[in-house]
Amino acid sequence: MTGSAASPAPPSPSFRLAYVPGATPAKWVRIWQERLPDVPLQLVQVEAGEVEDVLRRGDADAGLVRLPVDRTYFSAIPLYTETTVVVVPKDHLVAAVEEVSAAELADEVVFHPLDDTLGWEQPPGRPAIERPATTADAIELVAANVGVLLVPQSLARLHHRRDLTYRTVTDVPQSQVALSWPEERTTDMVEDFIGIVRGRTVNSTRGRDRGASGSGDQGKAQGKGQGKTPQKAHQKGRPAAAKGAAKAGGRGPRTGGAPSAAKRGGGTGRGKPRKGR
């Protein structure tokens, strides 16, 4: 043969984002598409109890999960905390108020589905004879006027029915949504998505421009230092020259500006005394 067909181009890399029911990735997906139009983002919907296994197997690069996760294996960035609500029939007494306390549900049958996301051993109220297998099954029982259900507000919206409504419940556990990924697989694309959810600009120096050699260390630092705000983390990494310049500005408390004119001895009339006076 004197020639051969051209080799097919390798498939474009893609970023796979898992998300649990109720999580809303749309805003971050839109920003990703604007910044990285050549890198497809694939959404993978996963049940809350299965998302860790999906991430461990590598079936997704990162996920919007409900805390807690195994922090010995996963890094996590908390994103927001959801209000807990009680789902009731529209003609229920609870529907007449804006919010209720856990104590006010003491006489209600409160379902505790096996896929519960609030992490409590026993919800308030009276337990049902059997635990529903899923939140969707529990919603059907609420619609049949058998009992009520406590869930994060996003799940109440997800399972919306015309014959049901929900109200805020005070003094009960709340669900926290986080971005999580295997710490050992902190890739450039994971770093890109971290930057998006943290609100970094496209020109931020904390993104992938640190180079592939530093991406793993950066991911570990972010996974283990979640208690630090981005501002503090940025200050900790200032170059030595910047630190030296800060020290040269005086030993008193720093206000973030340059040393005052009085300290420099110029322009205020409070410099060295004039001779002959």
For residue range 261-272, what is the model confidence (pLDDT) as tens digits? 444 444 444 444
Least Cα distance to 138 among 128, 124, 154, 149 occurs for 149
CB within 8 A of 204, min separation 6: which ones?
Answer: 195
Number of Cβ atoms within 10 Å of the Cβ of 184:
12
Tell me, what's the pLDDT at 257?
A: 44
Tell me, what's the pLDDT at 122?
A: 87
Under the banding of pLDDT at 50, 70 and 90, the label for residue 13 is: confident
Tell me, what's the pLDDT at 141?
A: 97
> E strands, 126-204, where?
126-127, 148-152, 164-170, 176-182
What is the per-residue pLDDT across 149-201, written as a single tens digit (0 to 9) for each? 999 999 999 999 999 999 999 999 999 999 999 999 999 999 999 999 999 98
Mean pLDDT, the chain, as a whole number?
80
Q: Is the pLDDT at 236 greater than 60, yes or no?
A: no
When pLDDT is averaged across residues 212-241 and rounded to a whole number, the result is 40
